[in-house]
A and B are shown apart, each in its own frame.
Chain A
Amino acid sequence: MKTAVVLFPGSNCEQDTVKAINAVGSSPATVLWHKDRVPVETDLVVLPGGFSYGDYLRAGAIARFSPIMQSVVDFANAGGLVIGICNGFQVLVEARLLPGALLRNEGLHFICKWVHLRVERSHSIFTRSEKSVVRIPIAHGQGRYFIDDDGLKSLEGCGQVVFRYCDEEGCTSVESNPNGSIGSIAGVCNEAGNVLGMMPHPERAMSEDLGSADGRTFWKSLLNGTLTQSH
């Protein structure tokens, strides 16, 4: 699978993401400069974490106007796989490739810590062969997922919620929701299922000595899958 990681000025997780992909994938990831276009033979585009354009104005708000974004939108609309992690999720939401919004955390502070996630769509291409509860860290200041009532209903109805914050046993609660996200939502996909956004960082959970290797199964499921099996 040919994977491209987009580097916006201010991205800071692109190398971690490349490391993670190269650790489990069969072909090395390439880094795309934000002034490039998505090459035609690409299978997967990753928008990495960081603070694109300093997150000035609002996280992701400037990056969506970055030259590469039009070709990312075209790529997604043509059915290409796109993942946004943390800041990448914020960019996807700003670019309207995913519904909802990401607001400042409930406590108004940046939070960096390990959380548990419940995998809600275990048959999605993103999460095939995934364990049902995984341990993956978060690191964000604007990660509180929000969507209006109708939007939430349709999201839940169409099975677009991919990850929820939970405790070790997989139960959601106020305590296990680190940032006040509606419905404890940590990651969502679009209706077609080819665009995923998530606040947690699977590229940071690649080995036990760093705290968890649960991210490996995520990347493996994604990179070793075939596109036709996406639903």
Chain B
Amino acid sequence: MDYNATTPIRAEVLDVVNRVLHRCFGNPSSVHLPGRESKACLEDARRKVAGSIGAEASEICFTSGGSESNNLAIKGAAAARQSGHIITTCIEHSAVRRSCRYLESQGFAVTCLPVDMGGYVEPGAIAAAIRPDTLLITVMWANNETGQIQPVEDIAQIARRSKVLFHTDAVQAFGKIAVDVKRVPVDLLSISGHKFYGPKGVGALYIRRGVELSPQIHGGGQETNLRSGTENVVGAAAMAEACRLAVKDLEGDSVWIAKLRDLLERRILEEVPDTKISGDPSRRVPNTTNISFRGVDAGRLLLKLDERGFAISGASACASGKNEPSTVLMEGMGLTQEEAMGAMRFSLGRYSQEAHITKLLKVLPNIVRDLRLSSARS
């Protein structure tokens, strides 16, 4: 139940890996046949990725993953403009947060907007924060810890009216809800292959035509000079297949996965006392729920559940090495430290089953009770 951390590769995607690895092994920059085959494969992948978000092929830049996409979008937009002001929120993924902080150290101004109790950033607050020198707004499409969907459509309109670039980290949104750059006119958008049943080590940045970015990796000039380095052809082809499947199955999957998530949530709230959902349940991606177990240390709960074979996350996987309460929940959404310490993220996916939930609920109430008793004693 940790599909927001990563997902298994789908069988169809693995087939592509197998096929492309053996057939298109050339360097896409080489002029001979293996090189041309590789190049064709890469460009086919680019068209598919573009098609899955309503973009043109020329607007897709392949990267090594979501973090690189976010780094490229934010640092690249800033570097192309030398100085200015950036607007972000305090619930962003660390790749965005730390890129903004880095730019702050380089002399850029950064406004970090809070979110309300429901986990939303207020579009009006963004409009109010825009200054004449604002160059970029970066707000995630959906939050990795709570699943909250941000009002990206409104923000895109505001950004457009003010002629400010809008980047959205769609790493957690793509594959879970419809992501279409025609409908939501963002300028830059990051996705990561391994969050939607593609491989790790590949991602993409959508760059609306005409948007100027400075490359962050210099060299052979691949990816129209925006991102040098021999292209990960197999990764790109595999992610493209994952993109295609994600769009094809979105409607069906989101319905049954949401039902399962709702069932999980309802049963936990009913059967485990002193539990509470973080964020506004009405505007979330269909697979995620973040539940606080009051008086419980999420880290210990996670380990107890792991012993029983349940993979669940305390907060986001990237930060979970540290035993700190989530900044998203505390600073962002105003949870108390106790609530944030006891927050667990359940994220479901294609291979989740009702039986898993039944099994979980057989053990969860007792584990939580025991943890509460032992912490009360100590």
Q: Do A and B bind each other?
A: no
B contacts, CB < 8 Å to A:
none
Residues on A facing B (Cβ under 8 Å):
none
